[in-house]
Amino acid sequence: MKKELKDLTDEELIEEFQKNNTIEAYEILVKRFKDPLMNYVYRFVGNKDVSSDIVQDTMIKFYLNKDSYKSFAKFSTWIYTIAGNLARNELKRRKRRKIFSLNNNNDDEQSIQIEDKSFLSPDRATDSAISHEIIQKALQKVKPVYREVVVLRDIQGLSYEEIAEVTGLSIGTVKSRINRGRKQLQKLLKDIYKG
């Protein structure tokens, strides 16, 4: 009895898409990965519209370069790698724009100082929406090389091996970067979790 497409694993779906160019297999993979990728890219880049564009570009790249996927790798790490590369390019571009721009007022990352005590009044900090916003702002202040691995590990729940595959780093480097990222984040968020 032939399995339905929706019951296939990611690797089986991509194989189906590669061999028979089955657009339904592609659509199922898009459905499965669009939200996890959006969450990852948003926590990494910090802007919803840009993140949505990056995820869309990731899916287009996946559609156009389906044959570059090799079956020995996990599909999830392959698609995360594409999204991560695009997100990193976006951050580089943003950094370049920041260097050449004379006016950086539009950059909302700079608008809130995390360690500003007057801003973090206890009653406001308890509000979950605000605390989530503060965590997101603090995350954006962590160096991108540390932020990427922290997001992949602590938000997306990927294993160290998967993160090493996505980022192209050794497992040791991944672990040390995760710890450094967490340390930076702890310093930035000490007023929240101690309160």
Which residues are at the interface with other proteins (CB under 8 A)? 27, 30-31, 34-35, 38-39, 42-43, 48, 50-57, 59-61, 63-64, 86, 89-90, 93, 96, 100, 132, 135-136, 139, 150-151, 154-155, 172, 175-176, 178-179, 182-183, 185-186, 189, 192-193
Distance CA 176, CA 19 (A): 40
> Least distance from C-beta 19 to other proteins, angstroms?
19
CB of 1 to other proteins, least distance (A): 29
Closest-CA residue to 154 (of 130, 121, 179) = 179
Cβ count near 104 (within 10 Å): 11
The counts of H helices and E strands in the chain are 10, 0
Sign of dihedral through CA atoms 107, 112, 113, 114? Answer: negative
Q: Which is nearer to other proteins, 145 or 192 (CB)?
A: 192
Which is closer to other proteins, CB of 74 or CB of 182?
182
The CA distance from 97 to 47, in Å, is: 16
Q: What is the closest distance, in whole angstroms, from the C-beta atom of residue 162 to other proteins in the complex? A: 15
Nearer residue to other proteins within complex by CB, 18 or 39 = 39
CB 182, min distance to other proteins, A = 4
Nearest-approach distance from CB 103 to other proteins, in angstroms: 17
Nearer to other proteins, 2 or 79 (CB): 79
Tokens of 46: 């910090």
Residue ranges with strand state E in the chain: none
